[in-house]
Amino acid sequence: MNLMRGSAEGLVGGVVLDAFLGDPRRWHPVAGFGRVASVAERWVYGDSRWRGVVYAGVLVGGAGAVGVGIERVSRRLGLHGPVTAAVTWAVLGGTSLGREGLIMARLLERGDVAGAKGRLSHLCARDPEGMDARGLSRAVVESVAENTSDASVAPLVWGAVAGIPGLLMYRAVNTLDAMVGYRNPRYERFGWAAARLDDVANWVPARVTGGLVVLCGGPEAYRVLRRDGKKHPSPNAGRVEAAFAGALGVRLGGVNAYGGRVEHRPEMGDGKAPGVRDIRRAVRLSAAVTFAAAAIIGVLR
């Protein structure tokens, strides 16, 4: 029971640290892992799934081994709770996600569409060329929705299940997917393992996030989640985006462009396409979902 309490308190403490501090501004561990992954890619890369399996397996396994070491040392020193809080803070990204959303909201509220286009890459990989204020608003709301799971809820779920190793391995999987999980000629085969690992790692957390959106956003979120959650090509993102669409009373989905590749996403929800004011509403909902997840962990400790 004492070990469980320390882990739960550490996870909740990490959420509090993230709320007040946001991402570490220097020496960010996730950025450090990304640099290691980039060097490893230069050594391992080849246009084959097998090389991608080795690449993802070694890096994710390495993150897990580091996590096991940190956890053992922290327990021996009687610092498991504080160390868990620090690691949780390092891997969470909910506050930074909200800040980026609010920056986009302020730019669009001022009518600075060009500035918002230049900033969109901080949230997602979509090509902003040709987007107007409404298209940018939809991109931001969808990114805030999807990343509420990736940046906040999923790390907490894996931290609750597997402690510090779970936190680090999840963030490693998610980072590798962002780096090499794209369906383009370079990563179609090499990035396959990272993309599939990310799908598996987010399957439960995405559905937990959808449930938390319903808890925070009301019955309409549940109705749209049940009806539209399976429409999205992603097995996970669609659940969260559909729940957000229902909770906010907006319609998500449509045409997305990614570096010359165009995707037609099914529409989710019954309202109008999101406007600028819906960005702030999405950010508030995302924060509410994160704190709800932390509260539940605290209650179930």
pLDDT 10s digits, 188-199: 999 999 999 999
Q: Which stretch of 7-16, 24-33, 267-276 has the lowest confidence by average pLDDT? A: 24-33
pLDDT-based confidence at 30, cuts 50/70/90? confident
The lowest-confidence range among 31-35, 249-253, 260-264, 276-280 is: 260-264
**pTM score, whole prediction:** 0.93
Q: List the single range of 83-97, 175-189, 219-233 with lowest mean pLDDT.
A: 175-189
pLDDT at 1: 38
**Among the listed residues 89, 118, 98, the one whose alpha carbon sits nearest the alpha carbon of residue 17:** 89
Residues 199-232 as b/e (b if ≥16 CB within 10 A, e otherwise) read bebbeebbbbbbbbbbbbbeebbbbbbeebbeeb
Amino acid at 157: V
Smallest Cα–Cα separation from 149: which of 12, 250, 285, 52? 285
pLDDT at 6 over 60: no
Residue 181 reports pLDDT greater than 80: yes
pLDDT bucket at 3, cuts 50 / 70 / 90: very low
Cβ–Cβ < 8 Å for 145, 241: yes
Tokens at residue 291, please?
Answer: 């704190």
Q: In this predicted structure, which of 178-182, 193-197, 266-270 has the lowest mean pLDDT?
A: 178-182
Question: Is 80 exceeded by the pLDDT of residue 105?
Answer: yes
- pLDDT, residue 260, reads 67
pLDDT at 155 over 80: yes
Q: Residue 180 pLDDT > 80, yes or no?
A: yes
Is the Cβ–Cβ distance between 51 and 190 less than 8 Å? yes
For 34, other C-beta atoms within 10 Å of its C-beta total: 16
pLDDT average, residue stretch 242-256: 93
- Copy the structure tokens of residue 54: 């080795």
- Mean predicted confidence (pLDDT) in 103-109: 97
Written as six digits, the tokens of 195 are: 């993309």
When pLDDT is cut at 50, 70 and 90, the band that residue 60 belongs to is very high
At residue 128, does pLDDT exceed 90? no
Average pLDDT over residues 62-77: 96
Q: How far apart are CA 162 and CA 19, in angstroms?
A: 23
Q: So what's the pLDDT on residue 257?
A: 74
Q: Would you state the pLDDT for residue 40? A: 95
Least confident of 23-27, 53-57, 125-129, 212-216: 23-27
| pLDDT score, position 206 | 97
In angstroms, the first-to-last Cα distance of the chain is: 8
Task: Please check the confidence at residue 301 and state whether its pLDDT lies above 80.
Answer: no
* Among candidate residues 176, 189, 148, 217, the one with its CA nearest the CA of residue 50: 189
Q: What is the pLDDT of residue 5?
A: 45
